[in-house]
Amino acid sequence: MSEQLTHLDEHGRARMVDVGHKDDTARVATARGAVHMQPETLQQIIAGNMKKGDVLTVAELAGVMAAKRTSDLIPLCHPLMLNHITVTCTPNPAQSCVDIEATVRLTGKTGVEMEALTAVTIAGLTIYDMAKAIDKGMRLTDVRLVRKEGGKSGEWRLEMC
């Protein structure tokens, strides 16, 4: 990895990257993660028996909202006009978890990897928040970028998703 770190200036100080000279291109990023929990907790979520409401729907909405606010949370991210955000929270009884996937799209000068990762993370934290009364041992795990397209570097996929 011999690429220069773009968020550092010539003196090693943090800076926001100037993307003004870049052309607008179609960009997409997909991230995934999971919230592992006790089987009984997952069954309560699936059954819709949580006191705070529909955990999966609320988590998906939280993920969408978080993607839109990424630049407010991560200091050097650009504010972006996102074209599309999809967040899905899918119960996985075999692994006793909820699998989370977020895909973010835009046409712009910079990528949307951080927005996808933020969406997954906040969706996971929302699941934790809504179910922590019955399972404080839940774990948000494996948050990772699995695909990106667009921009100078083109397409990239994580080999083992």
Tell me the H-state helices in 16-110: 39-47, 55-68, 70-73
Of the candidates 54, 72, 129, 135, the residue annotated as catalytic is 129
Do the beta carbons of residue 57 and residue 106 sit within 8 Å?
A: no
On the 0-12 / 13-18 / 19+ scale of CB atoms within 10 A, 119 is buried
Distance CA 83, CA 41 (A): 35
Do the beta carbons of residue 59 and residue 100 sit within 8 Å?
A: yes
Question: What is the sign, positive or negative, of the torsion defined by CA atoms of 19, 102, 2, 5?
Answer: positive
Q: How many C-beta atoms lie closer than 10 Å to residue 27's C-beta?
A: 22
Residue 18 designated active-site: no
Question: What is the sign, positive or negative, of the torsion defined by CA atoms of 128, 33, 117, 112?
Answer: negative
Residues annotated as catalytic are 129
